[in-house]
């Protein structure tokens, strides 16, 4: 459904964000993208959704293909129209607007009133909690509810592919569990999902396939179950050591180096 090949992204003509990332999403699946801070996860999403301009970034190499159309030359608006919805990092709802208005912003690209109505009902069905909050100012909602608004807003354009950037960020474990359930439900209703996460346990338990990004490169990818079982990944991303907790002395992260004389 979506194929990105050799994506290279440069910010402000100097800063390299991605160094050749390839990624594939099959129709109906959930793909997890893991990586630590600054690995290039968000940059990759921006490259897929056309939001690089805002950050003075550019795709300098590679291509993105979505069901036969090339996305890397299109602007954000056209990409939403093509059927890709996204939930941005940190929710990014419009705090001064009401919940209803926030949802309506998501339907901006939808022309048919009936379709908007249908999507709106579907979103409220997914998030019964929002029903009573429809006329509240979105900025005053709790973090979990705001995340629901953000996901609901993205669903209002009836996307065939939904990109989620760290939906678990800053939420309590119980709420994260709810969000996980919702993502599974959305996927079951026929929307493919790309899930970018730092919470590796959550992401891999949901996903069919996983990619690990480091320094703007894909360093590993495979079926989610394999990744979950992988020794290195368990150690680096899931916090599971070989024999319980490791002493920090054994983890040698740098080498002493003489700098001024060699």
Partner 1 sequence: MTEFLQLMVSGVSLGFTYALVALGFVIIYKATEVINFSQGGLVMIGAYLVYNFTSTWGLPFALSVVLGMLATAGIGLIFERIILRRMVGAPVFAQVMITIGLLFILQNLVTAIWGPDPLNLGDPWGVSTVTFGEVVIQVRQLWGMGLTLFVLLLFFLFFRFTPLGLAMRATAIDQEAALAQGMSSKRVYMAAWGIAGATAALAGVSIASGAASLSPEVQFYALLAFPAIILGGIDSPLGAVIGGLVIGITQSLTAGYIGDIAPWLGAGFESVMPFVVMVLVLLVRPYGLFGTPEIKRV
Q: Does 140 bind partner 1 (CB under 8 A)?
A: yes
Q: CB of residue 58 vs partner 1: minimum separation in angstroms?
A: 14
Q: And the tokens for 10?
A: 């440069």
Q: Does 42 bind partner 1 (CB under 8 A)?
A: no
Figure out which of the listed residues 139, 170, 223, 239 binds partner 1, where binding follows CB under 8 A. Answer: 139
Nearer to partner 1, 96 or 240 (CB): 96
Figure out which of the listed residues 2, 21, 23, 93 binds partner 1, where binding follows CB under 8 A. Answer: 93
Nearer to partner 1, 97 or 225 (CB): 97
Q: CB of residue 57 vs partner 1: minimum separation in angstroms?
A: 12
Tokens 């908007």 correspond to 116
Q: CB of residue 170 vs partner 1: minimum separation in angstroms?
A: 12
Nearer to partner 1, 42 or 237 (CB): 42
Is the CB of residue 164 less than 8 Å from the CB of residue 149?
A: no
Q: Does 157 bind partner 1 (CB under 8 A)?
A: yes
Figure out which of the listed residues 1, 74, 76, 124 binds partner 1, where binding follows CB under 8 A. Answer: 76
Q: Does 49 bind partner 1 (CB under 8 A)?
A: yes
Q: Does 73 bind partner 1 (CB under 8 A)?
A: no
Nearest alpha carbon to residue 88 among 175, 167, 181: 167
Stretch that binds partner 1, among 14-22, 88-96, 207-215, 222-230 (CB under 8 A): 88-96
Figure out which of the listed residues 12, 13, 14, 54 binds partner 1, where binding follows CB under 8 A. Answer: 54
Nearer to partner 1, 108 or 236 (CB): 108
Nearer to partner 1, 26 or 117 (CB): 117
Nearer to partner 1, 5 or 98 (CB): 98
Q: Which of residues 188-247 bind partner 1 (CB under 8 A)?
A: none
Query: What are the phi and psi torsion angles at 66 (to 5°)?
Result: -125, 105
Q: Which of residues 100-119 bind partner 1 (CB under 8 A)?
A: 101, 104-106, 108-109
Task: Report the b/e string of 74-109 with b at 16+ CB within 10 A.
Answer: bebeebbebbbbbbbeebebeeebbbbebbbebbeb
Residues of this chain that interact with partner 1 (CB under 8 A) are 49-51, 54, 75-77, 79-81, 86, 88, 92-97, 101, 104-106, 108-109, 137, 139-142, 153, 157
């Amino acid at each position: 459904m979506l194929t990105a090949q050799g994506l290279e992204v440069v910010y402000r003509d100097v800063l390299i964000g991605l160094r050749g990332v390839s990624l594939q999403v099959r129709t109906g699946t959930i793909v997890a993208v893991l990586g630590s801070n600054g690995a290039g996860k968000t940059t990759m999403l921006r490259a897929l959704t056309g939001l690089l301009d805002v950050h003075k970034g550019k795709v300098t190499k590679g291509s993105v293909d979505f069901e036969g159309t090339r996305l890397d030359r299109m602007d954000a608006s056209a990409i939403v129209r093509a059927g890709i919805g996204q939930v941005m990092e940190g929710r990014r709802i419009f705090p001064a607007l009401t919940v209803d208005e926030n949802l309506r912003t998501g339907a901006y690209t939808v022309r048919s009133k009936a379709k908007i109505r249908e999507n709106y009902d579907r979103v409220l069905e997914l998030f019964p909690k929002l029903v009573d909050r429809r006329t509240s100012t979105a900025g005053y909602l709790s973090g979990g509810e705001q995340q629901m608004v953000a996901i609901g807003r993205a669903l209002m354009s009836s996307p065939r592919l939904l990109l989620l950037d760290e939906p678990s960020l800053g939420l309590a474990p119980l709420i994260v569990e709810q969000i996980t359930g919702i993502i599974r439900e959305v996927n079951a209703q026929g929307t493919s999902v790309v899930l970018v996460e730092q919470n590796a346990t959550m992401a891999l338990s949901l996903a069919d396939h996983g990619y690990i990004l480091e320094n703007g490169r894909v360093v590993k990818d495979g079926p989610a179950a394999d990744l979950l079982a992988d020794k290195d990944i368990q150690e680096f991303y899931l916090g599971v050591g070989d024999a319980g907790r490791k002493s920090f002395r054994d983890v040698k992260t740098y080498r002493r180096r003489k700098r001024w004389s060699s």
